Amino acid sequence: MKCVLFYHAFTSCWNNGNAHFLRGVARELTELGHQVVVHEPADGWSRLNALAEGGEDALHQVPALFPQVEIRSYDQSIDLDHALEGADLVLVHEWNPPELIAQIGARRRRGGSFALLFHDTHHRAVSKPDEMARFDLDGFDGVLAFGEVLRQMYLRLGWADRAFTWHEGADTALYRPLPQIEKRYDVVWIGNWGDDERSAELREYLIAPVAALKLHGKIYGVRYPQDALDAIQAAGIDYDGWLPAHRAPEAFAGAHVTVHVPRGPYARTLPGIPTIRMFEAMACGVPIVSAPWDDCEQLFTAGSYLRADSAAQMQACLRRLIEDRELAREMAAEGLRLIRERYSCRHRVRELLDIVDTLRGQRFQPSAPALNEEAVS
């Protein structure tokens, strides 16, 4: 099967956590024998910012990590007739321009034989619904939403007639335990400031507890304002800017524990959706303490992570995991088991292929009763 994927960025993950999962999906499709072609704009904001921060070497390393994936960069416009030629599956991520999304949908309506899916991995459906309403999805066969609550929203608002829940997962070819690496830090945090969407939460659940416990901490990420950098420095935490995703496993391996801090829109209005760092940290065998979020879809088991509902609880949980190494080992093992059994990109790709088979069955048997698109997770 020829799979054509339209991403905002594949070679760059600067402030672009979507790239982690999308890369893993492309990798696993090729591992299962499918041809994969990825199209990304040469002037995408993630790529341009990575280059501005001196990340040219990191970007050049990415294609070698995915040798079977054909990466095509385009300037200003793209020849869609050429790009879609021979495609069996077309996957369009929501960080593409509305004009491009509409053009791809129009080609599907005009008789394109490929299965066409729109992939949403953001909170804009609740935080900026006017932006999402601009997307013309009439030509799409369905929507892949990275949480059940988001899937239901697409159907309720009439943005799509068919939607599937498709959670993110860990690219386990990259995110894996590295026990040979020495643990130099008590706590590591890999994440971006997030446009003030979790500024209060990062201060309460990361900076303040690490400072109160006088732990040796390390933070990686971008778009931190000066007042945040000042607070990090005052807390005695090391800060080291952008960390390309393919270097994250070493950073996780070098710490005893990590912290999960979801952005406000997810924690408050999109329950059931963790950040991808939950999957990735577990895949690396690192125990996690999480700030509040609602695991209403029951993705994770008891004992796979600790939850803290206040700064005081975060302090207690961090102290407990750092002092009780046996508990930390058990928690890491349970998280790793979950990823290997349920939440790898290989699992997600198999779900995707099942969805494509469902769509094909509906397309060629229009008189059959409609299938019930229950959550696929």
Over residues 144-166, the pLDDT tens digits come to 999 999 999 999 999 999 999 99
Alpha-carbon gap, residue 342 to 358, rounded angstroms: 21
Q: What is the pLDDT of residue 367?
A: 37
Question: Both tokens of residue 173?
Answer: 């070819």
CB 261 within 8 A of CB 288: no
Neighbour-count burial of 156, counting CB atoms closer than 10 A to its CB (0-12 exposed, 13-18 middle, 19+ buried): exposed
2-169+344-364: CATH number? 3.40.50.2000
Q: Is 223 left (phi over 0), alpha (psi -120 to 50) or beta?
A: left
Average pLDDT over residues 15-31: 96
Q: What is the pLDDT of residue 364?
A: 52
Average pLDDT over residues 350-354: 98
CB 223 within 8 A of CB 198: no
Where does the pLDDT of residue 324 fall: very low under 50, low under 70, confident under 90, or very high at 90 and above?
very high
Average pLDDT over residues 365-376: 41
Alpha-carbon gap, residue 283 to 277, rounded angstroms: 9
CA distances (Å), origin 231, targets 158, 192, 205: 44, 15, 13
Average pLDDT over residues 348-356: 98
Q: What is the pLDDT of residue 236?
A: 98
The answer to whether residue 366 scores a pLDDT higher than 60 is no
Range with the poorest average pLDDT among 54-68, 194-208, 336-350, 355-369: 355-369
Q: What is the pLDDT of residue 373?
A: 45
The per-residue b/e assignment along 11-21, b for 16 or more CB within 10 angstroms, e otherwise, is bbbbbbbbbbb
Over residues 249-265, the pLDDT tens digits come to 999 999 999 999 998 88
185-341: CATH number? 3.40.50.2000
Could you give the residue ranges of the DSSP H alpha helices within the chain?
Answer: 18-31, 45-52, 56-65, 80-83, 98-109, 124-127, 129-133, 148-156, 199-202, 208-213, 226-234, 248-253, 264-269, 276-283, 311-323, 325-341, 345-364
CB 160 within 8 A of CB 143: yes
Alpha-carbon gap, residue 232 to 223, rounded angstroms: 14
Q: What is the pLDDT of residue 361?
A: 85
Q: What is the pLDDT of residue 128?
A: 84
Residue type, 118: F
Where does the pLDDT of residue 363 fall: very low under 50, low under 70, confident under 90, or very high at 90 and above?
low
Over residues 182-218, the pLDDT tens digits come to 999 999 999 999 777 899 999 999 999 999 999 999 9
Where does the pLDDT of residue 30 fall: very low under 50, low under 70, confident under 90, or very high at 90 and above?
very high
The answer to whether residue 369 scores a pLDDT higher than 60 is no
Average pLDDT over residues 153-181: 96
Q: What is the pLDDT of residue 371?
A: 40
SS3 of 284-343: the string is: CCCCEEECCCCCCCCCCCCCCCEECCCHHHHHHHHHHHHHCHHHHHHHHHHHHHHHHHCC
Range with the poorest average pLDDT among 54-58, 107-111, 165-169, 267-271: 267-271
In the chain, CATH 3.40.50.2000 sits at 2-169+344-364, 185-341
Q: Which of 262, 258, 247, 315 is nearest to 289 (CA)?
A: 258
Q: How many CB atoms lie within 10 A of CB 64?
A: 8
The answer to whether residue 368 scores a pLDDT higher than 70 is no
Residue linked to tokens 């945040």: 228
Q: What is the pLDDT of residue 375?
A: 40
Alpha-carbon gap, residue 35 to 361, rounded angstroms: 22
Average pLDDT over residues 278-288: 98
Q: What is the pLDDT of residue 124?
A: 87
Where does the pLDDT of residue 266 fall: very low under 50, low under 70, confident under 90, or very high at 90 and above?
confident
The answer to whether residue 376 scores a pLDDT higher than 90 is no
Please state the separation of Cα 151 from the chain's center in Å: 16
The answer to whether residue 294 scores a pLDDT higher than 50 is yes
In the chain, the percentage of residues whose pLDDT exceeds 70 is 96
Where does the pLDDT of residue 268 fall: very low under 50, low under 70, confident under 90, or very high at 90 and above?
confident
Residue linked to tokens 């492309």: 26
